[in-house]
Structure 1
Amino acid sequence: MDTGTHIVMGFAIGGLAAIDPVVANDPVTAQSVLIAAVIGSQAPDADTVLKLRNNAVYIRHHRGITHSIPAVMLWPILITAALFPFYPEANVLHLWLWTFLAVFLHVFVDIFNSYGTQALRPFSRKWVALGVINTFDPIIFGIHVIGLLIWAFGADPVPTFLSMYAIIVVYYVVRFLLQQAVRHSIKNTIPQADSVIIAPTMRFYQWRIAAQTKEHFYVGRAYGRSITIYDKFKRISIPDDEIFKKAKKDKNVSAFLSFSPIYRWELTETDDQYEVRFIDLRYRSNDHYPFVAVVQMDQDLNTISSYTGWIFSEEKLKKKLDIIPNE
């Protein structure tokens, strides 16, 4: 989920903690739990700082180790240890328990996005992405804001937030049912599809779709059960030659390939260089595919420049490649 949603979730968990008699009857513990819940709801995204290095590092590691099983256990301990000197009279066990819940829910809800997490590490590096909730879902965010406002106006937080989360659980079930209906429609539209990716959008009934058969890639949108295919590409395996072997060793390309499950490639050759481009097919927007990896090499296959990330125009991509040689 996005940062804003994780923040309101943290406050909601801090309010719901009043269901715990130890928290409800101890103002010091209650205050520390509220602060810890907000911090805990953000902690796994500490790896966002990796973007300061470069996109390749960020793409490869974001929602990786910081969302893993060991991290889910470690974050609450670190947060509790950091807060306890400021709240020495707080109940440490209950402070840790509610912090753990905040951290766990952060990782748990991220699984439902199309980006996903490596939540099963160290047992598996597989990306777990159920793709039923958009990274920012206005309904979930709005329900949290309404719950927090009701609490702010003096309502009992326990029934308020229990009711709120009951509504959200029902909403998740509805989203799963909608996704399954879209999947069924795609199978009817493209019966030969052997792989289908369905990604949510901020609009309730609209979904991005990408499918592949043995011979083609299909990209489109779903509105309810109605499927519209915008693009169809010939599915061609990556050539097993020196150009592509060298391209795949580039750190930007390697990061892209480790993350993207469905993509196509392009090779452009000029008198003095090769340009290899990999294009993720999941994020079509306004007739454009913004998530790419590009590497430029000279005739001796030495890397001149490379880049991976979100680019919405060729002009901006050219500037990135000119500015960031060998990245």
Structure 2
Amino acid sequence: MDTGTHLVMGLALGGLATLDPVVAGSAATATSVMVGTIVGSQAPDVDTVLKLKNNAVYIRNHRGITHSIPAVLLWPIAITAVIYPFFPEANLLHLWLWTFLAVFLHVFVDIFNAYGTQALRPFSSKWIALGVINTFDPYIFGLHVLGIIIWMLGGHPGYTFLTLYIILVFYYFVRFFTQRKVMKEVRALIPNATDIIISPTMKFHQWRIAVMNNNQFFVGRAHNNDVTIIDQFNRVKVPSSPVIAAAKKDENLSAFLSFSPVYRWEVDEYDNYYEVKFIDLRYRSKDHYPFVAVVQLDQELNIVTSYTGWIFSEEKLRKKLEIIPN
């Protein structure tokens, strides 16, 4: 989920904690738990700072080790150890329990996005991405904001957020059911599909679709379970040419390939350089595929410049390639 949603979830857990008699009976415990749930709800995304280094490092590592099983266990211990000295009268066990719940819930809800997490590390490096909830879901965020407003107006925070989470459990089941219906329609339309990726959008009834069979890629969308195929490409195996082999040594392209499960590729030769482009097919938006990796190489196949990330126009892509140092 996005940072704002994780923040309101941390506040909501702090309110829910008032149903815990130990928390409700101690001002120090209640305050420390609120701090713990807010910090715990944000902690796994500390790896966002990797974006300051470059997109390649960010793509390869975001929601990786910081969302792993060891991290879920260690974050609450570290956060509790920092908070507790400021609230020595707080109940240490309950501070840790509610902080742990905040960290666990952060990682758990991220699994439902299309981006996913490596939540099973170190046992598996596989990305778990169920693709039923958009990274920013206005209904989830809005319900949390509504709950916070009710709390501010004098409503009981515990019962308010307990009701909210019961509603959200039902909402998640509805999203799963809706995605399954879209999946069924896609299979009926493309019966020989080998891989189907259905990604949510911010609109409840709209989904992005990327499909592969042995020979083709299909890109489409679904609205109210009505599936429309928008683009269709022949599936051409990436060749083992010297140009491609040299481009794959680039960290930007390597990061892209470690993350993207469905893409097409292009190789263009110009007067004094080659350009290799890989295009992720999952995120089509306004007739454009914004998530790409591009590598430019000279005639001796030395990497000159490269870029990976989200780009929404050819002009901006050219500017990115110009400003990246050789």
For Structure 1 versus Structure 2, the TM-score category normalised by the shorter chain is over 0.9
Deviates more, 1:177-186 or 1:269-278: 269-278
Q: Which amino acid aligns with 1:214?
A: N
Superposition deviation, residue 325 in structure 1: 2.9
Partner of 2:82: 82
Q: Give me the CA root mean square deviation.
A: 0.7
Superposition deviation, residue 95 in structure 1: 0.4
Does residue 26 of the first structure (1) align with residue 36 of the second (2)? no
Aligned counterparts of 1:257 and 1:166: Cα–Cα separation in 2 = 39
SS across alignment from 1:249: coil
Q: Which amino acid aligns with 1:275?
A: E
Deviations 1:279-307 (A, max 9, x none): 00000011100000000001111000000
Aligned counterparts of 1:251 and 1:157: Cα–Cα separation in 2 = 48
Partner of 1:194: 194
Aligned counterparts of 2:155 and 2:319: Cα–Cα separation in 1 = 54
Superposition deviation, residue 156 in structure 1: 1.6
SS across alignment from 1:168: helix
Aligned counterparts of 1:181 and 1:59: Cα–Cα separation in 2 = 31
Deviations 1:6-55 (A, max 9, x none): 01000000011111111010000000100110010000000000000000
Deviations 1:135-171 (A, max 9, x none): 0000011111111111111122222111110000000
Aligned counterparts of 2:303 and 2:240: Cα–Cα separation in 1 = 18
Aligned counterparts of 2:144 and 2:3: Cα–Cα separation in 1 = 13
Partner of 1:215: 215
Deviates more, 1:252-261 or 1:147-156: 147-156
Partner of 1:276: 276
Q: Which amino acid aligns with 2:29?
A: T
Partner of 1:55: 55
Partner of 1:203: 203
Aligned counterparts of 1:258 and 1:311: Cα–Cα separation in 2 = 19
Partner of 2:107: 107
Aligned counterparts of 2:55 and 2:311: Cα–Cα separation in 1 = 12
Q: Where does 1:151-300 land on structure 2 (aligned, <5 Å)?
A: 151-300=151-300
SS across alignment from 1:304: strand
Superposition deviation, residue 241 in structure 1: 1.5
Superposition deviation, residue 116 in structure 1: 0.3
Partner of 2:7: 7
Partner of 1:323: 323
Aligned counterparts of 1:14 and 1:22: Cα–Cα separation in 2 = 13
Deviates more, 1:129-138 or 1:316-325: 316-325
Q: Which amino acid aligns with 2:308?
A: T
Name the count of aligned residue pairs.
326
4+ residue runs over 6 A deviation:
none
Superposition deviation, residue 85 in structure 1: 1.6
Q: Which amino acid aligns with 1:301?
A: L
Q: Which amino acid aligns with 1:203?
A: K
Aligned counterparts of 1:158 and 1:94: Cα–Cα separation in 2 = 16
SS across alignment from 1:129: coil
SS across alignment from 1:97: helix
Q: Which amino acid aligns with 2:188?
A: N
Give the TM-score normalised by the residue count of structure 1: 0.99
SS across alignment from 1:217: strand
Deviations 1:227-276 (A, max 9, x none): 11110011000001111111111100000000001000000001211100
SS across alignment from 1:41: helix
Which ranges in structure 1 are unaligned for 5 or more consecutive residues? Answer: none
Aligned counterparts of 2:92 and 2:244: Cα–Cα separation in 1 = 55
Aligned counterparts of 2:311 and 2:158: Cα–Cα separation in 1 = 45
Deviations 1:193-233 (A, max 9, x none): 11000000000000000001111100010002211111001
Aligned counterparts of 2:2 and 2:82: Cα–Cα separation in 1 = 25
